[in-house]
Amino acid sequence: MALGRLAVFITVAAWIAFIATTIAQQFFVGAASTLRFKYEAVLYMVVVTFLTISAISYLTARLGYYIRIRGHRRVPRAAIDEFLATTDETLTVLVPSYQEEARIIRMTLLSAALQEFPDLDVVLLIDDPPVPRTQRGRRLLAESQALPVSLEAMLAEPYAELERRIAPLLASGPTSSTEAISTLVGAYRWSARWLDQLAAAQPVVDHIDTFFATQVLGGLSRDLTTTALALEQASVAGADLDPARLHQLAQRPLNIFRCQLRSFERKCFDSLSHEPNKAMNLNSYLGLMGGAYMIEDSSTGRVLAPTGDPEAADLVVRNPDFVLTLDADSVLLSEYCGRLVYLMGLEANRDVAIAQTPYSAYPGSATRLERIAGASTDLQFIVHQGLTHHDATFWVGANAVLRKRALDDIDVTSQQGNWTIHRYISDRTVIEDTESTISLGTKGWHLYNYPERLSYSATPPDFGSLTVQRRRWADGGLIIAPKLLRHARRRDDNGDRRSAGETFLRLNYMASIAWSTICLLFLLAYPFNYQLLSPVVVVVALPYFVMMAVDLQHTGYKRTDVFRVYGFNLILIPVNLAGVVNSLQQAITGEKVPFKRTPKISKRTPTSLLFVLTPYLLVGLAIFTIWHDYTHHLWVNFGFAAFNAVLAAYAIIAFMGLANSLVDIWIGVVAKLYKTPKASTPRRSGPRSSNPEPAASSDWESVLHYGASGANSQPLSTDD
């Protein structure tokens, strides 16, 4: 943290020195002898200033992150169990899915179904075409429809066994007898063995399967085994355990395996929106909550008609207190729901609309692309945690617990024929979570990032699919920025406006992709006069990269990966620029940009011709600049061009692949003339790691009170 503060100071001081020396040298000393040179000087200062703003925003956010984790104390497991034993609040998990492989959906649904929550529904929102045109589409739809039924039946078996073992204990009321402890130990060990068997049967295709088996299933198994061991040690020690605490522990295994799973397909009903995006898939089901419906045939097709008789209804959708949205390629650790709903239930957090743990990348990826893309994701985890310190949290759509009452506050309705269409989550842009964040803020709601790693999400396995995802992420921020500024000018109920720091960080989050991409392009492509290039600029940028290297090491990567991340961002310049152009196009025309889903296929996705050619052009431009600067002895320019040429060339080889990029160029050129099938190459898979046995704990009191993770765990380490 001391280094972080020093980095902010050096960055600001170096920027001030750069601006002062540039103005003095180029405008007052007489160096700027022509009007063009003056324009170049102003442009260069603007470019460096905007890049400095982004650097300061990152340094400020990371400081907030370290402040938060320094003060973070895990709520004891006993407090969580007491809350779960007494709460009557309900939770519905919504998993939007579009043509996902059954293996991926299965892991997501299981991680949601095994959440330790007493009243839990899990709904798979299938957005596949109801009548698929391809054999693959028909297979994916059939497998998705069958998954909730089969998983509910599978979990019913351990639940029935545990209910048989534990029901007499619960019926007799709180007790601390030796027999009761023995019953609990047996139930916990039986649950752990069942989870171990499920983990052993998990098919391993890549590192995601390994993580699911060892950390989701295996982690819950180790937790239960450690708790059973602590109960045994307490019994041997003759401890007088609190009967109420034993009663809570008896409910825990039932909470784990008690769950209802179902699927829902909005596209089967003409009374619901069919707009092809994730937001409307979620909104369609959210709009049904709290109602009962009959399935009827109309002149346009099947519709859901509201009815006042739930007993005779074909579909009854409850109105839960909380809604958990979870992408179909993400998983949750077992304590996610319990800890976040407990947090939102505290009196001090009644104005928190969304609680989440920004997702992390799955560790152990087999490819360099996934590893470095995952590193950038984990750096964003740090940024998002730091934003919460400044009350500038953004909803990250992969996973979040949403207060239903807050969603009702931002519901916008419209008419589609005779039917009312609800928009709780804004779909005006393709980054629906970002705009919904601002909408909630205008209603006085706050958002919160829980400072632990409890959720993980997949990284696209190839460059082609990654460009689709990153282009979508770069689109929409400029459109939402005016809404943020209007929100910042408003006063709340106490007459106070949003803080300048919060507005600054939020604006940077939404618009920095635009200005950073454009400014970096100017530095790479525009031939600025050599007199403008000052070594002070290096001092401005250096703290940013040094602190990023420190953060990479903190999250389990190498410090030298900072160069790989930089090269990775270089070849994504055209992708980010395309997203920015889409935003400007929508702002001018008013037409929504089509929502492009990240391709979910097991084979490689070809990269767009523009996105595969531009990195080569950047390298070519850098090489030309190197030659020009060498012949004219412009050594500062020479060094910058050489640095970018080497890292961009490395990124092309490591992340795009020479052979793959040449194939994609050929496909792109031919596609301009003919319709051809897309080329593909097989995806690599990762090894499976072992699932270690839990170590025996000598402190049974800490285990039963704080939980198997312990009070002094390191929740933000990627090794946990």
- Name the percent of the chain lying above pLDDT 90: 62
Model pLDDT for residues 192-245, shown as the tens digit of each residue: 999 999 999 999 999 999 999 999 999 999 999 999 999 999 888 887 788 888
SS (H, E, C) 693-713: CCCCCCCHHHHHHHCCCCCCC
Sequence-separated (6 or more) residues with CB below 8 Å from residue 584: 478
What is the pLDDT, as a whole number, of residue 683?
Answer: 43
Model pLDDT for residues 531-580, shown as the tens digit of each residue: 777 788 889 999 999 999 999 999 999 999 999 999 999 999 999 999 89
What is the pLDDT, as a whole number, of residue 491?
Answer: 61
Structure tokens at 701: 């009191």
Q: 122 - beta bridge partners? A: 93, 261
pLDDT at 699 over 80: no
What is the pLDDT, as a whole number, of residue 601?
Answer: 63
Q: What is the DSSP letter of 360?
A: E
| Chain-centroid distance, C-alpha 23 | 43
Q: Answer for the pair 708, 226: CB distance below 8 angstroms, yes or no.
A: yes
C-alpha span between 354 and 322 (Å, rounded): 9
CA angle 220, 223, 227 (to 5 degrees): 140
Site of tokens 């000052």: 534
Side chain identity, residue 147:
L
Q: Based on the number of CB atoms within 10 Å of its own CB, is 403 exposed (0-12), middle (13-18) or buried (19 or more)? A: buried
Model pLDDT for residues 128-183, shown as the tens digit of each residue: 999 999 999 999 999 999 999 999 999 999 999 999 999 888 877 666 678 888 89
Q: Coil, strand or helix: which one is 720?
A: coil
Site of tokens 């973070």: 72
Model pLDDT for residues 488-517, shown as the tens digit of each residue: 877 665 556 678 888 999 999 999 999 999
CA angle 226, 227, 230 (to 5 degrees): 90
CA angle 467, 473, 474 (to 5 degrees): 90
Work out the pLDDT band at 617, boundaries 50, 70, 90. very high
Q: Coil, strand or helix: which one is 304?
A: strand
pLDDT at 31 over 60: no
Q: Tell me the average pLDDT of the chain.
A: 88
Sequence-separated (6 or more) residues with CB below 8 Å from residue 368: 564, 654, 655
CA angle 142, 147, 148 (to 5 degrees): 125
Residues of the chain by 3-state class (helix, strand, coil), percent to 5: 60, 10, 30
Q: Answer for the pair 480, 434: CB distance below 8 angstroms, yes or no.
A: yes
What is the pLDDT, as a whole number, of residue 210?
Answer: 95
Domains parsed from the chain with CATH numbers: 2-70+472-671 (no CATH), 74-359+396-459 (3.90.550)
Side chain identity, residue 652:
I
Model pLDDT for residues 279-300, shown as the tens digit of each residue: 999 999 999 999 999 999 988 8
What is the pLDDT, as a whole number, of residue 719?
Answer: 38
Site of tokens 């304590």: 335
SS (H, E, C) 605-661: CCCCHHHHHHHHHHHHHHHHHHHHHHHCCCHHHHHHHHHHHHHHHHHHHHHHCHHHH
Model pLDDT for residues 414-453, shown as the tens digit of each residue: 988 888 999 999 888 888 889 999 999 999 999 999 999 9
Which stretch of 485-494, 586-595, 685-694 has the lowest confidence by average pLDDT?
Answer: 685-694
> Which residue, among 433, 435, 448, 253, has the nearest Cα to 341 in the 3D structure?
448
Computed on alpha carbons and rounded to an integer, the radius of gyration of the chain in Å comes to 28
pTM (2 decimals)? 0.90
> Which residue, among 640, 358, 683, has the nearest Cα to 526 in the 3D structure?
640
Structure tokens at 232: 């045994």
Side chain identity, residue 189:
R
